Structure 1
């Protein structure tokens, strides 16, 4: 097989599965991250404790083990999930924990004077968060959120281990049938880079657009 035939064979269905897993996992991670980050700043100790357990468990254990646990262990408790659902849930929960810390630190980085000024204007807590704190915090979070997105995308390669036919799975199957190991995994490296590079540049462009006139 030529190098381009190898790339075409790997892409196949694998590209769609990888992109779908990335997209759904990223949405789940963002929702959990923002919810968790805000809850970590709650005055309610019980809420902070529960979210703290979630964050520490998912940051302190391997994503691969979490993926295996959700896909292989949950069925023993009567909860059977499809491979794509298990993959999205594991990756989303894992990166949601990391994202919650990015959100928490971003909010805490907003200048205290901004918050005091919004209080002086008689804004409610929700108004302060929506109009003053989050717009500024989001700009501070953006570089880290971008890094999390790239790491999440690369982590989707693990889903091949639960038989999900992503790019890595397709490459493994092709390698088993052709034994062209060098060509196949070089092509896989190039494919992942070509997909990740626009994500990186997109985050950088968004960051520049949001910071225009603010510096």
Structure 2
């Protein structure tokens, strides 16, 4: 055991660097995924069939293909002709995670907006609000409170999804513990990795819980809102 602890001490600076990369990937990927989710979720509700069809194609494409393959395409294929687009590995990880999980979250956004009671829509029309005013001042705040629990689940899945980015040369936390495994053993190294991932996931869940309570309180509701069904099968 002393040898294992000594090896852990030697790897500690690399573990901290890997932890920082994992946090960067999680935060960056989550922010990009949120932007993509809101954009695609709103476009998927358009009456125009071309706009709605475009959103559906993008959503189904990124939901229907593997995150690993998407990362490989961004990292290995884009620099080749005819694209000639080179992206830094960390940026590739953020873009890949954002696109993949943003497609799943888009369905949460669309479903949450559709779940807002019809009376709320009718009230905004009666008040002669514009389409934009109806969405951002009345409908979306209510939908936001509805979608947070499901977005929380996707955020945790995104955190766990960062473990696959080491396949494109990013030395994240998982890559460091793979090296520690060689110096110690499988149980010791991966047990520590599990604990760290659990702590990160618990911190994110706590933060999202606070965000949900704040969003619900702003609506002036004392009863728990009905949540949108969780989107299953987020990629890995």
Q: Same fold (TM over 0.5)?
A: yes
Contact map agreement 2:113 2:139 (CA 8 A) in 1: yes
Contact 2:63 2:100 in 1 (8 A): yes
TM-fit CA distance, 1:6: 7.7
The superposition leaves residues 88-144 of structure 1 with CA deviations (integer Å, 9 ceiling, x where unpaired) of 111110011011111000000000101101111111111111111001000110101
Structure 2: gaps spanning 5 or more residues: 224-236
2:156 aligns to what? 150
3-state SS of paired residue (1:75): coil
Q: Deviations over 1:15-34 (max 9, x none)?
A: 11111111111111000000
Q: Are 1:7 and 1:184, in contact at CA under 8 Å, matched by a contact in 2?
A: no
1:198 maps to 203
Secondary structure class of the residue paired with 1:150: helix
Q: Secondary structure at the match of 1:80?
A: coil
Structure-2 residue corresponding to 1:32: 36
1:107 corresponds to: 113
Choose the corresponding residue for 2:185, options 180, 183, 189.
Answer: 180
2: distance between equivalents of 1:193 and 1:8? Answer: 18
Contact kept in structure 2, 1:34 and 1:100, CA below 8 Å: yes
Deviation by residue 1:145-194 (Cα, 9 ceiling, x = unmatched) = 11111111110011111110110011112223x14221111100001001
SS at match of 1:123: coil
Which position in structure 2 is the counterpart of 1:22?
Answer: 26
CA-based RMSD of the aligned residues comes to: 1.6
| Equivalent in 84, 97, 100 of residue 91 of structure 1 | 97
Asked if residue 131 in structure 1 is aligned to residue 131 in structure 2, the reply is no
Partner residue of 1:159 out of 162, 165, 169: 165
- Contact preservation (8 Å) 1:22, 1:152: yes
Aligned residue pair count: 214
1:2 counterpart SS class = helix
Give me the TM-score of the superposition, normalised by structure 2.
Answer: 0.86
Tell me if 1:210 matches 2:215: yes
Contact 1:40–1:47 (CA under 8 A) maintained in structure 2 = yes
Once the two structures are TM-superposed, the CA of residue 36 in structure 1 deviates from its matched residue by 0.4
- Alpha-carbon deviation of 1:49? 1.1
Distance 2:11 2:136 in 1: 46
- Deviation of 1:10 (Å): 5.5
**Are residues 7 and 183 of structure 1, via their aligned partners in 2, closer, same or farther at CA, if it must alter by over 3 Å?**
farther
The ranges of structure 1 where at least 4 consecutive aligned residues each deviate by more than 4 angstroms after the TM superposition are none
Question: 2:174 is matched with which residue?
Answer: 168
* Cα separation, partners in 2 of 1:191 and 1:10, compared to 1, 3 Å: farther
